[in-house]
Chain A
Amino acid sequence: MDRSFVAQNPSVLVFLAILSLFTLGVTILSEGVGIGVISTSFVKTLGKTLCLGLIAVAMDLVWGFTGILSLGHFAFFGLGGYMIGMWLMYERTRLIVVDSLAQAEIPPTSTEVVDAIATQVFGVVGSSEFPLIWAFSHSLTLQLILVVLVPGLLALIFGWLAFRSRVTGVYLSILTQAMTLALALYLFQNDSGLRGNNGLSGLQNLPGVTASQDVVSIWFLWASALALGLGYMLAAWVVSGKFGSVIRGIRDNEARVRFLGYSVEVYKLAVFTLTACIAAVAGALYYPQAGIINPEEMAPIASIYLAVWVAIGGRGRLYGAVIGAAFVSLLSTWFTGGQVPDIPLGFYTIKWVDWWQVLLGVSFVLVTLFAPQGIGGLFDLWTNRHAPQRHGAALGPDESALREKEATE
């Protein structure tokens, strides 16, 4: 017990080493700063995948460890993206506006500049004024704080209401689905103040940066890798000690933890809010690489995919979640990108663009039924880790009866 954190969790070191090697390898092979084997768009895909790995870590913390099947974490991911997107869009438009107004004979007043920015940004939804929620969009620092603050606050309020009323299991999952759906529907409205279904676009262009996308993509790859590394360490630290014991206890037997004197609701709320913040950071790094964010990103299906990634990767172990997110999302990119050859059956041609989801659904069911440990479980074959298992049939009618093996031993 007096060994250091890393010594107790060797998998953290292995994970960080692999992550560093991966990032370094991609950098060397990239177009921007390396030998040009990997295209810039694929570098962006890999960078985005790292962000998905980070939100998968958050999902594993809240589902795999605490047992709360949240199907709404993409709402926090999207909100994080919106918060950073607001600054990116404001600042880039401001530079353009200032540039064009500089041609005028009379220098523009600051009000004129702001009005011009508003017309540019909101013309698409028929408005020319900044709504209240854009009040801080001129400041990168404030918007960065909001990246964590807004989703964190939403999670805190939602979680407080839900956990306080002891909503658990599938009912809680449905509530979280409702939350993300409601948020998406609200943002779809033109007068929501975030440009309705147009969303925020042009996010890949960093204001004031003249470097090409080839180079910027590498910056974001490194930033995403750093965030994933830090998030992974944070999550590993949180689950390593007694806090980890308590939340795993909540997952396995909530009532028992309560009778030990732990306030289960407070613990759930803490984990829910923390993971919402991690998800938001992941989103804030994801959308500048994607270039565009719209309310469709918060559709309920996105959060369900998240649960599928974590289930396939292996919940209850952090590296499993990252592997699942990376594996399934990259595979999904490959299948839906039309690069997989169709299979002609004579009477019917299987087009993977359409059939990929069926394949994913079937694999999800198969993994849940036959390999509940997921891909991460493969590592157990190597390290010889066994789940505790009671052998033998129960002798009596209830679970407290002697087991066959105990009775005969």
Chain B
Amino acid sequence: MSTLLEVSGVSVTFDGFRAINNLSFQIGNAELRAVIGPNGAGKTTFMDIVTGKTRPDEGRVIWGEKSVSLLRMSEAKIAQAGIGRKFQKPTVFEDQTVQENLLMALKNKRGWLGVLFYRPSADDLDKVADLASEIGLKDELTRKSGELSHGQKQWLEIGMLLAQEPRLLLVDEPAAGMTPQEREHTTDLLVQAAKTRAVVVVEHDMEFVRRLNCKVTVLHEGSVLAEGSLDHVTSNQDVIDVYLGR
């Protein structure tokens, strides 16, 4: 399996605190990966580095077949290159309708002039409708997304990510605050998405990770502690000591 994203030897220090310490991480083209770890292990900082929000002090972040370095690219350029990110809090544009949210995310020209003269084609509207039914919001297209329930907002955000057609999806705690049924739906969405692209899920909840049924990377103090199947890492003594044993 060819490598889509390769992070190697990355370190970041915030005011003397080493948030990421010589971290290395790889993911292939169509792979689902869960990243777990206690608070402060550097999970969110890791995502910040990949998406360009934080610049590492050292290390390399290499992307795609052409092996481009992401370190010199802006957030917008990285997103255009095919990396989508879902935040911990559901961040949809609450003042706008579900359809407007999805149209904004839909893969299209991102330049200001192109956007100014853009009017949605029938094709685009079809894609939005398909996405909406996939995320269970078919009947809510014209509603303001601020009126949606918490779980629906989470799905809308996942739908927006899918609309971007990214090659790599970074998902931060997708199941936080969801009801059991909503969790199940979310698991399905993520597993489905990982068939055609790489998906990295950061999650606290072990039960949720188990249902994803994928390779797991355990982070601790900014570096990788263990990697493998969930059963493999949960039987690892280091992991038990720092994370599960407490």
Chain A residues near B (Cβ < 8 Å): 1, 238, 241-243, 245-246, 248-249, 252-253, 255-256, 258-264, 266-267, 270, 387-390, 396, 398-403, 406
Asked if B39 is at the interface of the complex by the 8 Å CB criterion, the answer is no
> Are B53 and A264 neighbours in the complex by a CB distance under 8 Å?
no
Give min CB distance, B234 to chain A, whole Å.
Answer: 26
Q: 10 new A-B pairs (CB below 8 Å) besides A245-B93, A248-B96, A258-B75?
A: A1-B125, A238-B116, A242-B118, A248-B95, A256-B91, A263-B112, A388-B144, A389-B147, A399-B89, A403-B150
Give min CB distance, B98 to chain A, whole Å.
Answer: 11
Give min CB distance, A60 to chain B, whole Å.
Answer: 15
Binds A, one of B1-9, B19-27, B100-108, B188-196: B100-108
> Are B164 and A400 neighbours in the complex by a CB distance under 8 Å?
no
Binds A, one of B29-37, B62-70, B79-87: B79-87
Residues of B with C-beta under 8 A to A390: 146
5 pairs, A vs B, C-beta closer than 8 Å: A242-B118, A245-B100, A245-B103, A258-B79, A266-B111
B85, closest chain A residue (CB): A259
Residues of B with C-beta under 8 A to A266: 111-112
Residues of B with C-beta under 8 A to A258: 74-76, 79
> Are A264 and B176 neighbours in the complex by a CB distance under 8 Å?
no
Asked if B149 is at the interface of the complex by the 8 Å CB criterion, the answer is yes
Give min CB distance, A65 to chain B, whole Å.
Answer: 11
> Are A243 and B115 neighbours in the complex by a CB distance under 8 Å?
yes
From known contacts A256-B87, A258-B76, A260-B79, infer whether A245 and B104 are also in contact, taking CB-CB under 8 Å.
yes
Chain B residues near A (Cβ < 8 Å): 51, 53, 74-77, 79-80, 84-85, 87-91, 93-96, 100, 103-105, 110-112, 115-116, 118-120, 125, 144-147, 149-151, 160, 164, 173, 176-177, 179
Leading 8 A-B pairs by shortest Cβ distance: A388-B146, A261-B79, A388-B144, A258-B75, A263-B76, A261-B80, A243-B116, A388-B147
| Option from A260, A267, A389 in Cβ contact (under 8 Å) with B105 | A260
Residues of B with C-beta under 8 A to A264: 76
Residues of A with C-beta under 8 A to B149: 403, 406
CA of A374 to CA of B119, assembled, Å: 31
Give min CB distance, A183 to chain B, whole Å.
Answer: 27
Residues of A with C-beta under 8 A to B85: 259
Q: In this complex, which of B79, B115, B119 has the most chain A Cβ atoms within 10 angstroms of its Cβ? A: B115
Residues of A with C-beta under 8 A to B119: 1, 241
Give min CB distance, A262 to chain B, whole Å.
Answer: 5
Give min CB distance, B163 to chain A, whole Å.
Answer: 9
> Are A1 and B79 neighbours in the complex by a CB distance under 8 Å?
no
> Are B112 and A267 neighbours in the complex by a CB distance under 8 Å?
yes
CA of A333 to CA of B69, assembled, Å: 60
Residues of B with C-beta under 8 A to A253: 91, 93
> Are A400 and B110 neighbours in the complex by a CB distance under 8 Å?
no
CA of A260 to CA of B103, assembled, Å: 11
Give min CB distance, B92 to chain A, whole Å.
Answer: 8
CA of A360 to CA of B174, assembled, Å: 47
Residues of B with C-beta under 8 A to A241: 115-116, 118-119
> Are A260 and B53 neighbours in the complex by a CB distance under 8 Å?
no
| Option from B93, B100, B176 in Cβ contact (under 8 Å) with A400 | B176
Give min CB distance, A21 to chain B, whole Å.
Answer: 31
A402, closest chain B residue (CB): B177
Give min CB distance, A315 to chain B, whole Å.
Answer: 13
CA of A398 to CA of B172, assembled, Å: 15
> Are B84 and A259 neighbours in the complex by a CB distance under 8 Å?
yes
> Are B160 and A260 neighbours in the complex by a CB distance under 8 Å?
yes
| Option from A255, A260, A389 in Cβ contact (under 8 Å) with B104 | A260
B88, closest chain A residue (CB): A400
Residues of A with C-beta under 8 A to B164: 260-261
> Are B76 and A261 neighbours in the complex by a CB distance under 8 Å?
yes
Residues of A with C-beta under 8 A to B112: 243, 263, 266-267, 270
Residues of A with C-beta under 8 A to B51: 259
> Are A400 and B91 neighbours in the complex by a CB distance under 8 Å?
no
CA of A402 to CA of B145, assembled, Å: 16
> Are A248 and B76 neighbours in the complex by a CB distance under 8 Å?
no
Residues of A with C-beta under 8 A to B176: 400-401
Give min CB distance, A403 to chain B, whole Å.
Answer: 6
Residues of B with C-beta under 8 A to A399: 89
Q: In this complex, which of A258, A396, A398, A403 has the most chain B Cβ atoms within 10 angstroms of its Cβ? A: A258
Give min CB distance, B106 to chain A, whole Å.
Answer: 9
> Are A252 and B125 neighbours in the complex by a CB distance under 8 Å?
no
Give min CB distance, A406 to chain B, whole Å.
Answer: 5
From known contacts A267-B112, A388-B144, infer whether A400 and B89 are also in contact, taking CB-CB under 8 Å.
yes
CA of A259 to CA of B105, assembled, Å: 10
Give min CB distance, B226 to chain A, whole Å.
Answer: 27
> Are A1 and B116 neighbours in the complex by a CB distance under 8 Å?
no
A409, closest chain B residue (CB): B149
Residues of B with C-beta under 8 A to A387: 95, 146
> Are A242 and B115 neighbours in the complex by a CB distance under 8 Å?
yes
CA of A245 to CA of B120, assembled, Å: 13
Residues of A with C-beta under 8 A to B160: 260
B148, closest chain A residue (CB): A388
Residues of A with C-beta under 8 A to B144: 388
